[in-house]
């Protein structure tokens, strides 16, 4: 191969479901690793999750398992689990890497696999730090974020529809595997890596300063609608009815916005009345209500196209609110030429659709999307190539109902 993907040759066995661990395998696979997804006979519990194609196929599954090889084994059988354990420690010097969010089976624990292969790299995702069960949405409830989201007059918590802790955890796991694989190459040592959704959420709350604020100031954060906490940014509506979000990130942007909008004198009056200095973004946030009263009629007198051009000249980020359908319908002229997207013909879905590949571009080249496996699609080839089984032996396993 003239230009192989960075992880070409790496062998990963994934025994997982839902978002975080499949995302970890997806990223490694898009970087070139051979990712073998193990499922029970009949398929994993997340194979039919919404959204679905018109034919009833899970587009969620297809999105998180692109390009993997699928192996289906009877995990309720000791013989079936032995087969999977052998597969987990196979693959030569670049194999022996396991991703899991399931600690039900002792045969697949780090201790058991390390007894077979001392340099095994084993990652396990838990819900809670103590190993107890949790999912992204229950973690959200525990970590304070839903209580600072939503409208200012919200009377209850507002969960995010984006599974942030799942997504962050999946990427953390991928980084952990790459770090462990590098250490193995340098020292020959294996690794047991554990991560919990809870710890990822707590680390994020700490890194953003929210937990320190609670400890040191006692300030009780409350929802602030679409206002950006700690700076000036919020949503407006243009004169032609387009709702958009802007974010004034720097003091230089703020000065230019006020000057070019012709609001310098009125803004100085607000500063005097509130004893504020708008060179400080925290002060702009504190006085956001009065500031917005000036900007609302200014933007309300302009068309969306004029607003976008005006803010682009000031290098101020702005984004139009739109649904997923509108994103595709309005943005298709931008999305289809974007090399991130390519046509994908997913098994079981009649029509091809544009699907994203790996967002990382190496040397300007994007890795295209590949179809996700059907249940057990690659069982025979994986067992024969990885474990050296003959076609007759594979047929016998199938006759026994193990694969």
* Residues tagged active-site: 166
CA torsion angle for 391, 395, 400, 403 (degrees, to 10)? 80
Asked if 211 and 201 count as a contact pair (C-beta separation under 8 A), the reply is no
Asked if 58 and 47 count as a contact pair (C-beta separation under 8 A), the reply is yes
Tell me the residue ranges of DSSP E strands in 97-231: 97-100, 121-126, 191-196
Nearest to 88 by CA among 15, 30, 189: 15
Give Cα 370 to chain centroid, integer Å. 18
Asked if 221 and 210 count as a contact pair (C-beta separation under 8 A), the reply is yes
Strands 69-73 and 34-40, by their bridges, are: parallel
The angle subtended at Cα 334 by Cα 6 and Cα 167, nearest 5°, is 50
Residue environment code for 126-151, b if the CB has 16+ CB neighbours within 10 A, otherwise e: bbeeeeeebebebbbeebbbbbbbbe
Partners of 123 in the β-ladder: 99, 193
Strands, sheet with 97-100, edge to edge from the N-terminal-most edge strand? 69-73, 34-40, 11-15, 97-100, 121-126, 191-196
Handedness of CA 149, 151, 154, 158 (dihedral sign): negative
């Amino acid at each position: 191969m003239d230009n192989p993907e960075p992880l070409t040759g790496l062998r990963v066995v994934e025994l997982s479901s839902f978002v975080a661990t499949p995302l970890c395998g997806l990223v490694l696979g898009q970087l070139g690793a051979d990712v073998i997804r193990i499922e029970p006979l009949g398929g994993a519990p997340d194979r039919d999750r919404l959204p679905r194609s018109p034919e009833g196929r899970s587009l969620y599954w297809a999105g998180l398992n692109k390009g993997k090889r699928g192996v289906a084994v009877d995990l309720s059988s000791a013989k079936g689990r032995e087969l999977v354990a052998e597969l987990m420690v196979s693959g030569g010097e670049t194999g022996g890497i396991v991703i899991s969010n399931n600690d039900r089976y002792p045969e697949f624990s780090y201790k058991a696999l390390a007894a077979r292969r001392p340099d095994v790299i084993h990652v396990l995702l838990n819900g809670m730090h103590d190993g107890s069960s949790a999912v992204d949405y229950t973690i959200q409830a525990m970590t304070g974020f839903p209580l600072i989201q939503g409208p200012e007059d919200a009377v209850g918590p507002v969960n995010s529809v984006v599974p942030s802790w799942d997504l962050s955890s999946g990427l953390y796991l991928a980084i952990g595997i790459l770090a462990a694989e590098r250490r193995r190459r340098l020292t020959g040592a294996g690794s047991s890596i554990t991560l919990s959704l809870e710890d990822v959420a707590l680390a994020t709350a700490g890194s953003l300063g929210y937990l320190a604020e609670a400890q040191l100031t006692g300030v009780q954060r409350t929802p602030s609608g679409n206002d950006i906490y700690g700076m000036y940014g919020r949503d407006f509506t243009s004169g032609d009815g387009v709702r958009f979000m802007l974010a004034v990130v720097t003091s230089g942007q703020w000065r230019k916005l006020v000057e070019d909008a012709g609001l310098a004198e009125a803004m100085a009056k607000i500063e005097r009345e509130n004893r504020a200095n708008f060179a400080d973004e925290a002060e702009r946030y504190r006085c956001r209500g009065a500031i917005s009263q000036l900007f609302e009629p200014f933007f309300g007198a302009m068309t969306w196209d004029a607003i976008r051009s005006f803010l682009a000249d000031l290098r101020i980020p702005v984004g139009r609110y739109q649904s997923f359908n509108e994103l595709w319908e309005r943005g298709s002229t931008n999305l289809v030429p974007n090399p991130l997207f390519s046509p994908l013909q997913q098994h079981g879905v009649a029509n091809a659709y544009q699907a994203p590949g790996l967002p990382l571009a190496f040397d300007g080249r994007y890795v295209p999307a590949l179809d996700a496996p059907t249940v057990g699609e690659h069982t025979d080839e994986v067992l024969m190539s990885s474990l050296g089984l003959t076609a007759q032996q594979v047929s016998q396993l199938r006759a026994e109902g193990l694969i």
